[in-house]
Structure formats: structure tokens, C-alpha cells
Amino acid sequence: MLILGLDPSLSCTGWGVIRVEGSRLTHVANGQIPTLAKAPMAERLAALHRAVSEVIATYRPDRAAAEEVFVNKNPQSTLKLAQARGVVLAACGGAYEGRGLPLREHAARAVKKAVVGTGGAEKAQVQAMLKVLLPAAAIAGPDAADALAVAIADAHLG
């Protein structure tokens, strides 16, 4: 089974694909999708949709996983995150000629607990565990690392 983990963000969306065979996890690919901060919002969202759709078409995952939305102290940041997240979910929903790619959502604490063993883990701890769990992976950056963590959590959470 292939799982696509997604870490939606307007500035840089992370993605990671893992293969799950029983209890064995294997890194397939990962990357980051940045958008141009000075571009109009509609163009940024369209570019994000295209890029996520291309990842789905390229790797043909069996399901996707994303972190549940959280609320920032800044309402504008929350709104931008929600818009980016909506576009990412729409790309999953429109995948495979209208059949859609099943998508599951996990709380950030559940992701950290599944990867590190504690829901209060720091980003550095999550990234260190990724090196243990996916030793052959060359991780594209912090957003890709977060996406791989979501995919691993989804594999562990069933």
C-alpha cells in the first residue's frame, strides 16, 4: 500500500509517499511545493492544486493523510492555511477520474505520538525519528519531513 502524507501550507506544502508492507515502511519519495508570496492568492492556490495533483498522478497512492486543521493566534494565518488545505483536499477528492483518493486526518499530537512516542515531541525529535524509520530517505526539507511523519502516523494508526 502507498500512503501520501500531506502537510498543507500556503507558503510551502510538504508531501511524502511511503510504502507499507505489513509492519515494514519504505520511503518512496518526498518534496515541497512552495508558492510565490507576491503572486495573487488565486494563482498561488491554483499552482498548489496543480502540483499536488501531479504528485498524486505520478505516485498513484492508495490513500492520503493530512494533519487536522489547527487555529493560529493570527486569524489571517488561519484563513490562509484553511484555503491551502482546502485546495490540497480538493486535489485528493478529484483524483482518479472522479473516484477520489481516500483521505484520513490526524491530530498533530497523534502524529507526534505515533512517530516519536509522545504527543508533545518537538520537530527536531520527529525529524530524528524519521532518520531511524526511513534511513534511506533524503528529506527535501522540514515541510516534507512533516508530511512523511503524517504518512507514517497514518500507517501506524491503521
H or E, element range at 74? none
| Residue in the block written with cell 482546502 | 86
User: What residues does each domain of the chain span?
Assistant: 2-157
Encode pLDDT of 27-39 as tens digits: 999 999 999 999 9
Give the span between the Cα atoms of 33 and 62, in whole angstroms. Answer: 21
Task: Judge whether 143 is annotated as a binding position.
Answer: yes
Give the span between the Cα atoms of 104 and 53, in whole angstroms. Answer: 17
Q: What is the pTM of this model?
A: 0.94
How many whole angstroms from its chain centre is CA 153? 11
Task: Judge whether 7 is annotated as a binding position.
Answer: yes
Give the span between the Cα atoms of 143 and 7, in whole angstroms. Answer: 6
Give the span between the Cα atoms of 75 and 57, in whole angstroms. Answer: 33
What's the chain's average pLDDT? 93
Active-site residue set: 7, 67, 143
Encode pLDDT of 59-87 as tens digits: 999 999 998 876 667 888 888 888 999 99
Q: Does domain 2-157 have CATH number 3.30.565.10?
A: no
